[in-house]
Structure 1
Amino acid sequence: MSTANDAAGRVRILTWNVWWRFGDWRARREVLLDVIRDADPDVVGLQEVWGFADPADPEDNLAWWLADRLGYRWEFSASSAPHRWQNRLRLTGEDADAADRIADIEFGNAVLSRHPLRDKHIERLSGGHRDDEGRTALQVTVDLPTGSLPFTTTHLNSAPYDSAVRHRQLGEVVRLVAGEGRRPGYPPVLTGDFNAVPESDEVRYACGYLTPGPVRDFVLLDAWRFAEPGDPGLTWNRRNPFVARVHQPSARIDYVLVGLAPFSGEGSVLGAHLVGTEPVDGIWPSDHAAIVVDLRA
């Protein structure tokens, strides 16, 4: 757990794909809560967040449940096409308790923050050449004690053959981020599960650092460049049994991208590391690990 002295002079960001309502989601959400609480972030971007349309109970949204216990604010953006995930629950019977409500379970992104949130905006992203998966980017402004932080989280198409779709989606997201990034305040932060490795065309394009990006004179730095040298940052790791069963290689597919900091240094990256990389009492919190990034306040 971070101490008050540890937290001085930094803004801590966490991003995590929390694996919707798959597996033993009740046990997993308790571990998710513990890991997030121990990481002590100021702002959290979450992907694969579940919630119910027209919930009968406020606890019928994972973002609300986590925010309530952390004492944080929260915002949520639902996919317009959650059918792929709902169908998986029907086929596997993984969530028998919700069998009669599966059609009402939403799939989306969320932001949690210990500081006030405003200016919520949901950007609907382009669909694939097959089915539109209803992907979104959720953008908010975080009112930190030391200034305003433009913060966006997103989750892109996952199919290995959808690189071109992700390229288009990231172009849309970065243009959104760049618009906020030109305002006074902290450099903008973009988090999310891009479902793409760092050397992919779409990630290089989004950063605009190794190749021209979607917005002229606008660059986003991959915060993992400031992690311990040699650490691959595998957020999708075959050590996790939920990953091993998919028969794909370990990879870094989750990101915190940060706008270029001014010479004064506010918003510059101080370091990055992973959390949620081990089971707790035999329970893996998600099929992804989470990234924690510290920015200079």
Structure 2
Amino acid sequence: MFRSLRRAAVFTAVAAASALSLTPSAAADDGMPPIFAAEVATYNVYLGATLDPLFTATNPQELVRLAGEVYAGVEATNFPERAGAIADQIAGHGPEVVGLQEVALWEKGPLGGQLQVTYDFLDLLLDELAERGHPYRAVATNWNFDGTLPISATEQARFRDRDVIIVRADLPRPLLKVTNPRSGTFGAVLEIPTAIPGLTFESPRGWSTVDVRLLGASFRFANTHLEASGPAAIRNAQATELAGLLDASPLRTVLVGDLNSRPNDAAGAYGILTGAGFGDVWLATGGDPATGFTAGQTATLLDENRLRSRIDYVMTGAGVRAARTEIIGDEEADRTVPTGLWPSDHAGVVAKLRFTR
């Protein structure tokens, strides 16, 4: 009986391996040594509206009006529908590990009363992936911005921002093992003063890591979203802190995320992380330095393609080589039907990576 169970387990593992991109090969087509391969991805799914108008309010009444407009924008950009479009992109490639940014949690309720979840972006996306036969599970989360404001004379809303690492949930433990989830908040935090006496917003940012074992390949997977606004010194300090954290890793490292730093930012976050030994897989796989745009869609998600900058990356440390990179969610065919919304204000990046034994 036990022998039969072992045989069944082996059969299950072999069957699952046939769907993986990490099959061992005797020699890669680019002359690299025997290795295992895996696919990873990054996607900023967009919180649903820009918060910038809030910081321009000059009095409490104006702040309430602007907060109401922000929440209305979230409803208009319809994440339940966009989640399906993002799930199509992820499921179409089946990466084993994905770093997500701006995985919003929105709540609403009566002013002074109990809040109820209205949009949990993580649950919505995971449900859409499962419906497509590509189940994923969350394995690490870091929480960022957290704010509650009145949105009318009778209602209030709360927005909580997080970055999440998800992994495929359809693979048996012998093939995919995830351990040591860690997360933290950067010491450098943007403070946003307003014209309203006593009101200052804070924008904390953070990071998450997990250790991943895929057959013969073990690596640390890191996900982050660096500061987008304010002085570049804050973002640069976050990048420096992250580089130090990852330098201490005993494992080969893969870093994904929205760095809010372009490739020509030699003195900024991009330069800090590449200077710390991380390779930009878009360039490593022959991507045109003048293309590969991942950011720039308008807040409404309804205009023509306005991706004009590259700030979302998959980066690799020593012992990891990039074999292929693709931008996803940037084609007209990727827009949702029937509303024509883009999946996000960012495009995603999927990369096939190779690991030496």
In structure 2, give the amino acid aligned to 1:206.
L
Relative to 1, partners in 2 of residues 1:80 and 1:205: Cα closer, same or farther, differing over 3 Å? Answer: closer
Please say if residues 222 and 255 of structure 1, whose CA atoms lie closer than 8 Å, have aligned partners that are also in contact: yes
Instruction: Tell me the amino acid that sits aligned with residue 204 of structure 1.
Output: G
1:235 maps to amino acid:
T
In structure 1, stretches of 5+ residues that fail to align are 92-98, 214-218, 262-266
The reply to whether residue 277 of structure 1 matches residue 347 of structure 2 is no
Q: Are the counterparts in 1 of residues 80 and 124 from structure 2 also a CA contact under 8 Å?
A: no
1:50 to 94, 104, 107: 104
148-157 vs 121-130, which moves further? 121-130
Deviation digits for residues 63-88 of structure 1, max 9, x if unmatched?
Answer: 344345132221353435322xx66x
Does 2:199 match 1:199?
A: no
Q: Deviations over 1:135-176 (max 9, x none)?
A: 1101111222223220110111111x4311111000111111
Matched residues, number? 262
In structure 2, the residue matched to 1:145 is 215
**Change over 3 Å in CA distance of 1:116–1:243 after alignment to 2:** farther
Instruction: Give me the CA root mean square deviation.
Output: 3.2
The one of 230, 237, 261 aligned to 1:168: 237
Aligned to 2:292: 233
Q: Aligned pair 1:30/2:84, yes or no?
A: yes
- Kindly indicate whether residue 137 of structure 2 is the aligned counterpart of residue 82 of structure 1: no
| Alignment check: 8 A CA contact 2:259 2:311 kept | yes
Is the partner of 2:203 in helix, strand or coil?
coil
Matched-pair identity in %: 24
- Which of 178, 200, 219 is 1:117 aligned to? 178
User: Normalization by structure 1: what TM-score?
Assistant: 0.77
Name which of 44, 51, 54 aligns with 1:17.
Answer: 44
TM, length-normalised to structure 2: 0.65
Q: What is the CA deviation profile of residues 179-231 of structure 1, one whole-angstrom value per residue up to 9, with x for unaligned ones?
A: 11xx2x5x2011111111111122111111xxxx4xxxxx1111111244426
**Aligned partner (choices 125, 129, 133) of residue 66 of structure 1:** 125
Q: Which consecutive residues of structure 2, in runs of 5 or more, have no partner in the other structure?
A: 1-17, 24-35, 49-73, 108-113, 169-175, 193-200
Question: Could you tell me how far 1:250 is from its partner in structure 2?
Answer: 1.4
**Residue 190 of structure 2 aligns with which residue?**
128
Taking the aligned partners of 1:174 and 1:269, their CA distance within structure 2 comes to 20
The whole-number CA distance in structure 2 between the counterparts of 1:174 and 1:51 is 28
Q: Is the contact made by 2:45 and 2:344 (CA closer than 8 Å) also made in structure 1?
A: yes
The answer (yes or no) to whether the contact 2:297–2:345 under 8 Å persists in 1 is no
- Give the counterpart letter for 1:110 in structure 2: V
The 1-side partners of 2:247 and 2:104 are apart by 28
Contact 1:76 / 1:108 at 8 angstroms: preserved in 2? no
1:250 partner SS? coil
- Counterpart for residue 255 of structure 2: 190
Bigger Cα Rg: 2
Classify 1:6/1:147 alpha carbon distance in 2 versus 1 (closer, same or farther; 3 Å): closer
Q: CA deviation at 1:100?
A: 5.3
d(CA) in 1 for partners of 2:298, 2:104:
25
After TM superposition, give the deviation of residue 244 of structure 1 in Å: 6.5
| 1:95 matched residue in structure 2 | none
- In 1, the alpha carbon distance for the partners of 2:179 and 2:219 equals 10
Q: How far off its partner does 1:285 sit?
A: 0.6
| Aligned-partner SS, 1:189 | strand
- The amino acid across from 2:283 in the alignment is R
CA–CA distance in 1 between the matches of 2:223 and 2:248? 15
Structure-to-structure mapping, 1:210-229, within 5 angstroms = 213=276, 219-229=277-287
Answer whether contact 2:142 2:184 (CA < 8 A) is retained.
no
In 2, the alpha carbon distance for the partners of 1:249 and 1:72 equals: 28
Which has the larger displacement, 270-279 or 236-245?
236-245
| TM-aligned CA distance change 1:259 to 1:5, over 3 Å | closer
